[in-house]
């Protein structure tokens, strides 16, 4: 992915955690690879926690280096990367300071990219301040999640930003869409005749999508306690992954063709009846427990969390899509903090053969399945049955692996690296369009409202487990179980 596109990349929140862990490391990897970033491209960090460029570069050396290049830092590449970086000290609460930014970038070449690695409360003030000094022309704006607290607040942000930037200038980022296995899911489905005929209700029994974390809320207690797992993960990451899995083949891979098909999936989600929420939605909150031999505290005792908090740290949902391809196929979504393992995966369970002359093992659920692992290691694994060596026709489960780091010699591109290059080069396909976001909020809101109205506390689960038992019981009602429970 090479480019000659000159750019000025303006990073708001330039000293923040996201900038240190993800954004600047991703830009460095693109720089180090050579040819991905135009030589003339500049990075302008905006913050108020550094006095000048020298202090900011020292900050970057201390906080970014630990997150780049797993095999060590190429000091020559690192030094040349730092030469790309400029710094502007701005108080984002003072619109008059944006004249300093205008003066800093006015002579820099290429398209301007404004990356808002800040809280959503600052999105609208920053956009208005940019417009006040004429920086909304020849520009692209990147918005991090969460974009609002509900449909109303999301629309308010989108309306205000939309008055300043056209929709084709707005890049709503969801880093899961930039992961290599998600891209390969599109390649598997739409580049091979093998899977497409099977990718439908006649041959698929159920689909599971899991994003599990071992970590708790860390230093984000104040934010998380006002957000919860449904807003933080389901409304965006999980529903975006579901739409990729379930979408119809687009007529091309241009941005609107892909996003049109995802939107059709989101609009086809079966609305959840408030009376059925207890059957198809499980919310939980972690209590104290042990993870990999280390005792961890309960959510309610985490810094910044209210002691009597009813915020959910775990959600499991049964979702249905009302269209011809997927009618009747349950999609089970799950996410949580302080779970037994850090894993993100998509599991496609195919139906058993209708009749077996080879014994009952060929009829068991899950004999044929596709497991797309997004993290920690990125792989795609296809399970099928084969005869065991020896006498008799005894079947055993075997699998075919596509391990990207072993099959492809060139290094994998991290999700943020791919997405940032797409912004610089004007590719919108992997970013969320406004109507997608609205459709996701419309589907999620009744669940939020019912949980709030019922005032029932989340179900407890011990840290280091896979969540409340009710999540397993929900799948058992459909004659299936979560993937890890089969082992």
Q: Is 116 annotated as a binding residue?
A: no
Q: Is 337 annotated as a binding residue?
A: yes
- Please state, in angstroms and rounded to a whole number, the distance separating the CA atoms of residues 336 and 213: 6
Nearest to 49 by CA among 62, 34, 33: 62
Q: Considering the candidates 31, 63, 67, 237, report the single residue annotated as catalytic.
A: 237
Q: Is 145 annotated as a binding residue?
A: yes
Q: Are strands 294-296 and 369-375 parallel, antiparallel or unpaired?
A: unpaired
Q: Is 48 annotated as a binding residue?
A: yes
- Please state, in angstroms and rounded to a whole number, the distance separating the CA atoms of residues 61 and 58: 5
Q: Is 92 annotated as a binding residue?
A: yes
- Please state, in angstroms and rounded to a whole number, the distance separating the CA atoms of residues 349 and 8: 46
Q: Are strands 343-350 and 139-143 parallel, antiparallel or unpaired?
A: unpaired
Q: Is 364 annotated as a binding residue?
A: no
Nearest to 25 by CA among 66, 77, 71, 85: 66
Q: Is 32 annotated as a binding residue?
A: no
Under a CB-based contact definition with an 8 Å cutoff, are residues 287 and 462 in contact? Answer: yes
Under a CB-based contact definition with an 8 Å cutoff, are residues 485 and 472 in contact? Answer: yes
Does residue 31 have an active-site annotation?
no
- Please state, in angstroms and rounded to a whole number, the distance separating the CA atoms of residues 285 and 130: 41
Q: Which of 108-126 are b and which e, b meaning 16 or more Cβ less than 10 Å from the residue's Cβ?
A: bebbbbbbbbbebeebbeb
Q: Is 248 annotated as a binding residue?
A: no
Q: Is 175 annotated as a binding residue?
A: yes
Count CA atoms within 13 Å of residue 349 on its CB side. Answer: 23
Binding positions are: 48, 91-92, 145, 175, 179, 213, 232, 337
Q: Which residues are catalytic?
A: 237
Binding positions for substrate are: 175, 179, 213, 232, 337
Binding positions for NADP(+) are: 48, 91-92, 145
């Amino acid at each position: 992915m090479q480019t000659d596109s000159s750019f000025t990349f303006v990073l708001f929140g330039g000293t923040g955690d996201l900038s240190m862990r993800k954004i600047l490391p991703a830009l460095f990897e693109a720089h180090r690879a050579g040819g991905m970033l135009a030589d003339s491209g500049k990075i302008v960090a905006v913050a108020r926690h550094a006095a000048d460029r020298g202090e900011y570069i020292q900050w970057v050396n201390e906080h970014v280096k630990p997150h780049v290049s797993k095999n060590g830092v190429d000091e020559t590449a690192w030094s040349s990367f730092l030469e790309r970086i400029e710094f502007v000290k701005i108080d984002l609460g003072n619109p008059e300071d944006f004249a300093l930014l205008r003066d800093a970038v006015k002579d820099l070449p290429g398209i301007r990219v404004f990356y808002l690695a800040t809280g959503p409360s600052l999105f609208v003030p920053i956009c208005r301040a940019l417009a006040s000094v004429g920086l909304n022309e020849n520009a692209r704006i990147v918005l991090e999640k969460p974009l609002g607290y509900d449909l109303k607040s999301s629309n308010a942000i989108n309306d205000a930003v939309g008055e300043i930037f056209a929709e084709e200038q707005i890049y709503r980022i969801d880093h899961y869409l930039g992961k290599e296995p998600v891209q390969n899911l599109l390649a598997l489905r739409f580049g091979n005749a093998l899977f497409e005929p099977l990718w439908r209700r006649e041959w698929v029994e159920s689909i599971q999508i899991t994003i599990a974390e071992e970590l708790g809320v860390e230093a984000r207690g104040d934010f998380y306690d006002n957000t919860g797992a449904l807003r933080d993960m389901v409304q965006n990451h999980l529903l975006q992954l579901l739409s990729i899995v379930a979408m119809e083949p687009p007529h091309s891979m241009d941005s609107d063709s892909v996003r049109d098909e995802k939107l059709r999936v989101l609009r086809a989600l079966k609305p959840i009846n408030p009376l059925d929420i207890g059957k198809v939605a499980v919310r939980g909150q972690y209590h104290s427990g042990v993870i990999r031999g280390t005792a961890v505290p309960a959510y309610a005792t985490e810094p910044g969390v209210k002691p009597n908090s009813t915020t959910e740290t775990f959600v499991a949902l049964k979702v249905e899509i009302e269209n011809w391809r997927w009618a009747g196929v349950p999609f089970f979504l799950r996410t949580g903090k302080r779970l037994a393992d850090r894993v993100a995966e998509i599991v496609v369970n195919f139906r058993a053969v209708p009749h077996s002359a080879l014994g009952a093992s060929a009829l068991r659920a899950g004999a044929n399945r596709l497991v797309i692992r997004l993290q920690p290691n990125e792989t795609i694994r296809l399970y099928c049955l084969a005869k065991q060596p020896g006498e008799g026709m005894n079947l055993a489960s075997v699998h075919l692996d596509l391990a990207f780091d072993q099959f492809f010699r060139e290094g994998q591109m991290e999700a943020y690296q791919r997405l940032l290059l797409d912004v610089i080069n004007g590719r919108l396909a992997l970013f969320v369009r406004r109507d997608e976001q609205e459709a996701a909020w419309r589907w999620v809101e009744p669940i939020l409202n019912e949980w709030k109205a019922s005032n029932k506390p989340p179900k407890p689960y011990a840290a280091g487990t896979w969540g409340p038992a009710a999540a397993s019981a929900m799948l058992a009602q459909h004659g299936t179980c979560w993937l890890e429970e089969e082992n």
